[in-house]
Structure 1
Amino acid sequence: MDFKMKEEEGFTTTTEFGELHVAGDEQFGYRPYQLMVASIAVCSGGVLRKILKKKRIDIEDIAISSNVERNEEKANRIEKIHIHYKIKGQNLNEKKIHQSIVLANKNCPMAQSVAGSIEIEETFELL
């Protein structure tokens, strides 16, 4: 990816999907920590979705929420991300879902890229 400096603040890049604006100020683009959290949460959710499909666990929907703990004393770095899945479907087995989430974490490239430096906690509820 190539990034170009914007006049106001931040940087921009163009991808196949469109233009992405990144800046330290939300007025000018996505903040870098937002992109990191989104990458980890959505990657984990996408891998989970594929695993559930392979296991023939029929789901109607997955909603993901995330909470972030940052350390102001250490450059405001991300210390922990809590990912919570709300999984909607019929006759869902809690144990199989839990096993699938553990497997998804092990196979998510974004989660594995930060393993050992950012704690990722995952919880879920069945709807």
Structure 2
Amino acid sequence: MSTTKLNGKLKGNMAFEMNINGHNLVIDASEEIGGNNLGPRPKPLLLAGLIGCTGIDVMSILKKMRVEIEDLDIEVSAENTEEHPKVYKDIHLIFKFKGENLPIDKLERAVELSQEKYCGVTAMLKEATSVTYEIILVE
């Protein structure tokens, strides 16, 4: 089993800076609640991690299937609960594939494998809420 460790250093007020795999990232609160808006908020980064995790999976699987696409755009939407702690519920992913004569069965299989077997972020989020998806072909 491997362990992931990160360190967040206070950079003044509410902002924290951390280094993730050699990349510096600052997370901050919005000005409305006293932050300085120096970086993204923590919860949207969770959704960004979901997009990255499943996107990398899907591209890797498609390469193994020898399916070449022109582009892939992944959108995610999630509702916030009203009560504290405000958490995401009903997360929905939209995979928008662009290319000519794309084999929809292989696209569906790649997304299914990512969402049901490989994406660790999806697996963790499914412990707390529903994660659904759809596939759209873009001409």
Which residue number in structure 2 is paired with residue 59 of structure 1? 69
* Separation in structure 2 between the aligned mates of residue 18 and residue 98 of structure 1, nearest angstrom: 33
Structure with the bigger RCO (C-alpha within 8 Å, sep 6+) is 1
CA deviation profile, 1:57-87 (whole Å, cap 9, x unmatched): 1111111111111112241101122111111
2:121 aligned with 1:116, yes or no? no
* Separation in structure 2 between the aligned mates of residue 16 and residue 115 of structure 1, nearest angstrom: 25
> Do the aligned residues in 2 keep the contact of 1:9 with 1:28 (CA within 8 Å)?
no
Which residue number in structure 1 is paired with residue 42 of structure 2? 32
Which structure carries more strand by proportion? 1
> Do the aligned residues in 2 keep the contact of 1:58 with 1:90 (CA within 8 Å)?
no
Post-superposition offset of 1:95 = 2.4
Find 1:7's aligned residue among 8, 12, 23.
12
Find 1:21's aligned residue among 21, 26, 32.
26
Unaligned 5+ segments in structure 1 are none
- Residue identity opposite 2:61 in structure 1: I
TM-score where L is the length of structure 1: 0.90
- Residue identity opposite 1:6 in structure 2: K
Q: Superposition pairs for residues 58-97 of structure 1, below 5 Å? A: 58-97=68-107
TM-score where L is the length of structure 2: 0.83
SS, match of residue 98 in structure 1? helix
Percent identity between matched residues is 28
Unaligned 5+ segments in structure 2 are 1-5, 32-36
CA root-mean-square deviation: 1.6
Equivalent residue pairs, number: 127
